[in-house]
Amino acid sequence: MELDEQFVRRCVDLYSDGSISLVASILSASPVDVCRALRRAKVVSEVQPPEIAFIVERQDQMPARAIVEHLDMTRTQYDQLRRRLGLDLGRSPGLRTGELTHASCAEKTRWLVQEHLRLPVDDHLPRQISSDNFTNNGLSSEIEFATREKVKCGKEKHFSACAFLIGLAYPGRFQPWQFRHAKTNQYFSGCSGRRNFLNALLWYVRDKMEISNSALPAAMRSHSFLNRRELQDYGLGAYWWKQLWSTKADMLEDLARHAGVKPIGGGALTTAEARIRLERDGVDVTRCAVPGCLAAGKGQINIHHIIRKATRVMPAFDVHASENLIPLCRNHHGAADQFRARDFDLRSIPTLRAQLLAKLTCVAAADHSAAHLPHRRRASQTSIG
């Protein structure tokens, strides 16, 4: 507690007629706080038994600097007291003064978080705390210890010493990527980076969003699924997945495969399954659907999604529905990729194929006309473009 002048005066007045324990009882204060008040008033100078007990009990839970400040001592007084009273005798056999262990680091981390900084231990903690909080509060040795120790671990070695210490203090409560981490770390890059990121996404979906595999396909249809804010709050922001996938849709498709599910209205659909859907509708999947195109053969034909993802106008639209699929040769497939959902009349889904073919026919006609322009005119047009 913070000592105010009124509390100090009350302690001095009561101490003239009673013991430290009695004064503490009357004021509903701890004996240690009464000792502090009496020392501040220069009524006592000798270290009192409650203070000695406080040091013994807290020497592995608080940094020395915090203990010294709490007891209104100097660091020299504190060190002399420890040596004089043999306060290291209660430590584990063979443990030298000041030597750090995982257990002692965990104790001091809990002190920093819960008693000193008074931060709630929830999912906001990783975004609030950093290594600076440790070094600024007398725990720089613990940061150095964590920096050495984390290299012995698997995923922890890629993340901060702060994340390692919080992990010691609250085992299983947090993942290291929830904490601020450098963009140079290798956990989400390299040959295993994509798998690691997908594992992190599944952890978030299952543990934090509480979405089971059976519900995942339906949840993936929502436009707000794994939105920017959610991913950023848990250290999985757009910077990371954009290094691994061209679009969010591609990332979700891989996530579905990784989870062993097939999304409804988006995600994984094999070419074989797409051909079966078209054949059921009477579409010849061995030839390009564009009139006049001679391309044919299984190796020459791709199955194109006319609308590549659900839109805000049709959030429940199944992009794998047969009316949204069309067989195209490689050339026409490339031409079709230039069109977006806004280029089509979405009020008439059954006509999507016809709409696309009409657009491709217009593009082909324009290209044909340009090819037959006089040479000089074509050259001028090219220089302008």
How high is the pLDDT of residue 381? 42
Q: Can you give the pLDDT at residue 368?
A: 54
Separation of alpha carbons 137 and 114, rounded Å: 13
pLDDT at 379: 43
Hunting for tokens 């290094």 — which residue is that? 243
What pLDDT, on the 0 to 100 scale, is given for residue 62?
80
Q: What is the full per-residue pLDDT of the chain (385 aa) written as tens digits? A: 678 889 999 999 999 889 999 999 999 999 999 998 998 888 888 888 888 888 888 877 788 888 888 888 778 878 888 777 776 544 444 444 457 899 989 999 999 999 999 999 999 999 999 999 999 998 999 999 999 999 998 889 999 999 999 999 999 999 999 998 877 778 988 778 888 999 999 999 999 999 998 899 888 888 889 988 889 999 998 888 888 887 787 788 888 888 888 755 444 566 777 888 888 888 999 999 999 888 887 678 888 889 876 665 665 677 888 889 999 998 888 888 888 888 898 888 889 999 999 998 887 666 655 555 555 444 444 333 3
Query: What's residue 86's pLDDT?
Result: 74
Structure tokens at 239: 């910077």
Q: Is the separation of the CB atoms in 373 and 381 below 8 Å?
A: yes
DSSP-assigned letter for residue 204: I
| Angle made by CA atoms 377, 383, 385, in degrees to the nearest 5 | 105
| Under 8 Å between Cβ of 67 and 36 | no
**Residue holding tokens 């940061």?**
143
Torsion of CA 204, 209, 213, 216, to 10 degrees: -110
Cβ proximity of 234 and 177 under 8 Å: yes
Give the chain's radius of gyration (CA, Å). Answer: 34
- Tokens describing residue 297: 């053969």
What pLDDT was estimated at residue 97? 46
**Is there a contact between 162 and 126 (Cβ–Cβ < 8 Å)?**
no
